[in-house]
Structure formats: C-alpha cells, structure tokens
C-alpha cells in the first residue's frame, strides 16, 4: 500500500488529480528511534531509492561493490566478514558528501565486530552512491540501506556490541525492535546523532564518534548521497582492504501474494479520538508512540497547528507503540483510561510534555507515575487504575495498532492527510497552516455537492464468474458509455466494480479531470467519505494501455480505488500502473466530451451504472 504524496505538494494540492503527475515515489516516514523496519509484502516504508552516482574513483576493481546495483548489494554476503582489523588500532572513516566530509573516529576496542564490518563494507564500495534515507532534525541522520527504503542490508545482520553512549555525533548501527542484548544490528544501516541522545543508550551499538563535520551532519537532508567512505588509521596510514566474501545464495523468489480486497484502515471510527471540528472535510490521522522522542518533539508543532486550523481540520490520534519502547504500551493504556473519564487529550498533552520525566524511569515505576498524572488531571484514580489493566482498554489500543499495520505504518509519528501519507517535513514549512487551510477550503468545496451517504462494506461479495464477461452501461448527463468488463484481466477488481454498481455506489460521481494531452478522464469519488469501506489490490495488465477505450481503476502502486479511468487515446504513460478491467464498446465520443468543474460550470456526472452478464 502506497499512499504517499510528496513533501512539496503535500499540503498544497487541489483535490483534482493530475494523471500525468501521480506516480507516488516510495519515501519513508521518519522512524522514532533508529531501527530497520521489518518489511511486509506490499509495504512501502522507505525514502527515495538510492540512485547510484558512483564517483570515478569508486569504479575501480578495488571497490567491487560499487560496480553492482543497489538491489545486488542487498545480497553481497550471507554472514559477517571474518575479523581482519586490529582491535587495538584507532581508525578514521571519512564519509564524503556534496555538502562536505564527515570524519568519524571508530572505536574498535568497544565494538570490534561492528567496526570490522563497517570497514569491510566501506572499503569494498558498498556505501558508494547510497543515500541518507532518513533525517530527523535534532535527532539523527540515517543511511547505508542499498534499497533506500529502511528495509535493506548486505544480506546479513551483525551481533550487538552495546557499550558506548549516544553523545553528540555518535555513529551507531540501526536494528530491528527487540531485546537489545539479543537482537542483532543491521548489517549496513548506520545513523549519526544530532545532539546527545541518552534515551537511546543501552539499546544500540555505538561504534564511534564524529570528530569533524558535525555541521555537515546537521546540513544533511533526505536523499543526500554518500559519495564514498574512506578508511585510514588516525595517523593517516592506509588500511588494507579485506577481499569480498562469496556472495550469498539469492533467496528463492517468493510466490506472488494473492490480490484481495480489505477494509480501508484510515476511515474515522465513531470512537476515535478527534481534536478540532468533528465535521471537518479534512482529516489528519497521526499514529504515535508516547515514548517516541520524535513524537514528543513533533507534539508542540502539531498542537500549535491545530490551534490555528481546528475549525476546518480534525486531528485523529491513534496508538502505535513500538516494540523497543518498554513504556509505550502502559502510557497508551493510560491515555485510553483517561479517555474513559473524558480526559484523553489532557493526558495526551501531559505524557508528551513530561516524556523526559518518565521515559527513563524503571518500568516498575511507571504505574505510580501515571497515577500521579491521573491525580493532576483530577481523575477518579481508582477507576483509572482499573481501566489501566482492563481487557477493554488493551483491546482499544490493539485496534489502533492493527489499523496502523494495515496502513503499513512502521514508524512514528506517521501522518495521513485524507488517506494519503505525508512526510513530517511537510509540517516544518513556515506556511504550513496557510497551506493546510487552503487545502481544506478547496476540499470542502469539492465534497460539498457529493452524497453524504455512507458505504461501509468490509469486502465486496463474490458475484462474478471468472469465465463470464459483463456489459457495463455508464449513464452520464452527456450520454451513455458501454464497456465490456473482463474478469480475466482483473478478477478481484472486476468483481468489486460489479458489486459496487449493484449497490448504486457510483451514482453521482463527478468528472474531476479530462486530460486531453494524455487522452483520459478521471472520475472522482461519489461520496464525501471517499471510499466504499474497502480497497482492493492492484491487478495491472502490462500493454493494456496501448490502445484507446480502456476502462481502468485509479489507485496507487499497490491498491485500486473505486474511481474510473476512461481513456480515449493510447496512454502508454499509464501502462502497468492501474487495474485494467475492460474495454469501451460504444460511447467513446461521450468520454471525450465529459468535463470537470470549472469556474461556475459544474462537473459532468455519472447518473447511474448498471452491469449485466453478457449472454
């Protein structure tokens, strides 16, 4: 599932969708602490993939990994390299970027295996041309992923060596969530701290410290390229490079995951925690973790923003406690227990504002601390204590987690604007409130004429046969469009379309774009809710867009929506991106004539859609 919209247009987009500019780039939301997210089928959790721009010096035979693609670098080994460095020696790593050099002194005594692995990869050109895929101002920069999306490595992990503190400029290895003493570090992903980060101590392998170029660290932005990493001893002597190991045996190609339709996880529920105008057309959903440092740092920005736009925007908060935070679940439950006494947002503010007070306390003390917060909020403390450990509160937190997992959330804070995920950086612009208010005004106008009827189907019923074909008649105010739907092209999405047509879902859907340059029209959502309650996986048919008269469903790289695309020209620029469900038989002249709203002129609309099995 990929609901990404870019930073530059995240808050400034109009609700009309430009087909020719809709390719969602995989870009990752910042993780709360430096760890590699576990990839799930179909998930997109990374920043823009590294376009390898290997420097000329890196193209020689002495840096062999630099000569292969990022995808190939993800399987350059099956185990860490043998120890070849001198643990008593001090080494320098110079990370070269276009913004300057970052010079790090590596501590081989404290973390010999980690330093050995880092030197091995650096000298063989593994890092050449990769990017910093994650930047958290005031927290960390992170890079070293050959896939550029937070999930990659060299094909192996390395043992943890947790000894050193996270001082300003510390370099450390990312890792998956889990017990620090037994969870291995990433084989290649490293991060450098911006300022001391004692909250990360005793959780990650620190293996050195920045001695020059901390200004460069602070200047790094997402997508900045690691040109190469050079290794010397502290006196400037060269260090012999260990030869590459035998490449790991590539894993078998996994079987394709069956395409299904699943409940849309980002619809607002009746008992969601909502701040702002509950009837607002614009919805922000935040998945957060009360123990997450990045969440606490973001909290004042969100609070200030909502003070300005709460009349036109509603904020929904959902819990997403991360496994490496031992007090994330107790604090989430505390917020839910407070909600039962009408004080969710008060506890929400208190937990973030006092995070530095409770985050580093022993887990055994957290309940007592939470009780003092309940007292400060004048809650019934006895009731609060009962709710804190109740099954109902635990289930409420887990429901939020499940919805986040369904939306492919892997880090916090993760933010969604009307169903599309947006990067944290979008909220750090000086005119964020102005952009968001402008977007909200446009969205409110765009949905004003739509049906307020709610469709909340968890999944479509199975009503089509894979061996049959179906005739779909789309009645518009300018005439009829008749198309043949073929389940052989996209069985799941054809079935969903026929099911929704039978429910009257498409009635009243407006035309939102007629792109004459591409030769296609896009039909918008017929309801203000924006979806029928579910979404289906994408079933692309390569080559299908090479002719005119194609019927497809608009969507992302991994999901199809319930919005029609009708083409009246070959549209190769759209090929392979959407679920093609059929071919227009008649009414192509009607398709060409349909127009979107412009000025005082209203959009053309679909009056009804009927489907019959072809005889």
pLDDT of residue 44: 25
46's CB contacts (< 8 A; 6+ apart) are: 26, 27, 28, 133, 145, 147, 148, 149, 150, 151
pLDDT of residue 177: 67
Kind of pairing between the strands at 534-537 and 261-263: antiparallel
pLDDT of residue 527: 83
Domain harbouring 53, CATH code: 2.40.100.10
- pTM score of the predicted model: 0.61
Residues of the domain holding 224: 47-233
61 plus 185 within the same structural domain: yes
pLDDT of residue 166: 94
Tell me the β-bridge partners of 476.
479, 606
- Spatial contact of 146 and 66, defined as CB atoms under 8 Å apart: no
- Spatial contact of 255 and 299, defined as CB atoms under 8 Å apart: no
128's CB contacts (< 8 A; 6+ apart) are: 52, 54, 55, 58, 63, 65, 66, 226, 227, 228, 229
203 plus 137 within the same structural domain: yes
Domain harbouring 368, CATH code: 3.40.30.10
432 plus 492 within the same structural domain: no
Which two structure tokens, joined as six digits, stand for 450?
A: 């739509």
- Domain-embedded: residue 346: yes
292 plus 393 within the same structural domain: yes
- How many Cα atoms are found within 13 Å in the side-chain-facing hemisphere of 305? 23
- Domain-embedded: residue 266: no
Which two structure tokens, joined as six digits, stand for 520?
A: 């296609």
CA–CA distance, 93 with 102 (Å, rounded to integer):
8
pLDDT of residue 45: 27
84 plus 116 within the same structural domain: yes
- Domain-embedded: residue 456: no
Give pLDDT < 50 ranges for the chain: 1-61, 248-251
Domain count along the chain: 3
- Domain-embedded: residue 395: yes
């Amino acid at each position: 599932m990929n609901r990404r919209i870019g930073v530059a247009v995240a808050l400034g987009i109009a609700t009309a969708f430009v087909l020719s500019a809709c390719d969602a780039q995989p870009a990752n939301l910042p993780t709360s602490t430096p760890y590699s997210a576990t990839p799930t089928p179909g998930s997109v959790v990374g920043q823009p993939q590294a376009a390898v721009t290997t420097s000329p010096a890196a193209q020689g035979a002495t840096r062999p990994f630099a000569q292969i693609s990022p995808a190939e670098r993800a399987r350059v080994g099956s185990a860490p390299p043998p120890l070849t460095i001198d643990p008593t020696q001090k080494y320098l790593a110079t990370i070269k970027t276009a913004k300057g050099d970052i010079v790090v002194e590596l501590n081989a005594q404290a973390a010999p295996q980690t330093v050995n692995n880092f030197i091995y990869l650096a000298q063989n050109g593994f890092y050449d041309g990769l990017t910093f895929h994650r930047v958290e101002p005031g927290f960390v920069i992170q890079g070293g992923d050959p896939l550029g999306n937070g999930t990659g490595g060299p094909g192996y992990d390395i043992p943890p060596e947790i000894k050193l503190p996270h001082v300003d400029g510390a370099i450390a290895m990312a890792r998956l969530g889990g017990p620090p003493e037994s969870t291995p570090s990433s084989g290649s992903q490293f991060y450098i701290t911006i300022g001391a980060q004692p909250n990360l101590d005793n959780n990650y392998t620190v293996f050195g410290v920045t001695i020059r170029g901390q200004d460069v660290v602070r200047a790094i932005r997402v997508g900045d390229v690691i040109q190469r990493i050079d290794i010397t001893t502290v006196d400037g002597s060269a260090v012999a490079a260990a030869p590459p190991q035998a490449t790991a045996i590539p894993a078998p190609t996994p079987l394709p995951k069956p395409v299904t339709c699943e409940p849309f996880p980002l619809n607002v529920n009746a008992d969601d925690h909502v701040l702002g105008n509950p009837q607002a057309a614009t919805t922000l959903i935040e998945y957060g973790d009360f123990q997450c440092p990045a969440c606490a740092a973001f909290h004042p920005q969100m609070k200030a923003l909502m003070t300005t736009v709460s009349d036109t925007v509603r904020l929904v908060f959902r819990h997403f406690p991360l496994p490496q935070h031992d007090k994330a679940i107790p604090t989430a439950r505390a917020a839910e227990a407070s909600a039962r006494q009408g004080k969710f947002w008060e506890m929400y503010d208190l937990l973030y504002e006092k995070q530095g007070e409770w985050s580093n306390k022993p887990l055994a003390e957290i309940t007592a601390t939470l009780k003092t917060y309940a007292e400060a909020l004048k809650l019934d403390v006895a009731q609060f204590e009962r709710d804190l450990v109740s099954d109902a509160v635990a289930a409420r937190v887990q429901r939020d987690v499940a919805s986040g997992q369904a939306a492919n959330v892997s880090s916090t804070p993760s933010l969604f604007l009307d169903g599309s995920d947006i990067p944290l950086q979008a909220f750090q612009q000086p005119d964020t409130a102005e952009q968001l208010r402008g977007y909200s005004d446009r969205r409110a106008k765009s949905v004003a004429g739509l049906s307020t009827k709610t469709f909340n189907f968890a999944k479509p019923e199975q009503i089509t046969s894979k061996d049959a074909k179906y005739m779909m008649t789309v009645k518009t105010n300018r005439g009829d469009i008749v198309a043949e739907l073929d389940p052989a092209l996209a069985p799941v999405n054809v079935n969903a379309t026929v099911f929704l047509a039978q429910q009257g879902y498409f009635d009243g859907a407006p035309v939102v774009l007629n792109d004459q340059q591409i030769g296609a029209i896009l039909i918008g959502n017929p309801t203000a809710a924006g979806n029928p309650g579910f979404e289906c996986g994408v079933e692309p048919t390569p080559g299908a867009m090479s002719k005119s008269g194609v019927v497809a469903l608009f969507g992302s790289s991994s999901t199809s929506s319930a919005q029609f695309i009708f083409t009246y020209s070959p549209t190769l620029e759209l090929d392979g991106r959407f679920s093609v469900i059929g071919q227009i038989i008649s009414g192509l002249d009607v398709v060409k004539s349909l127009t979107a709203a412009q000025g005082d002129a209203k959009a053309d609309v679909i009056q009804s859609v009927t489907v019959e099995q072809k005889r």
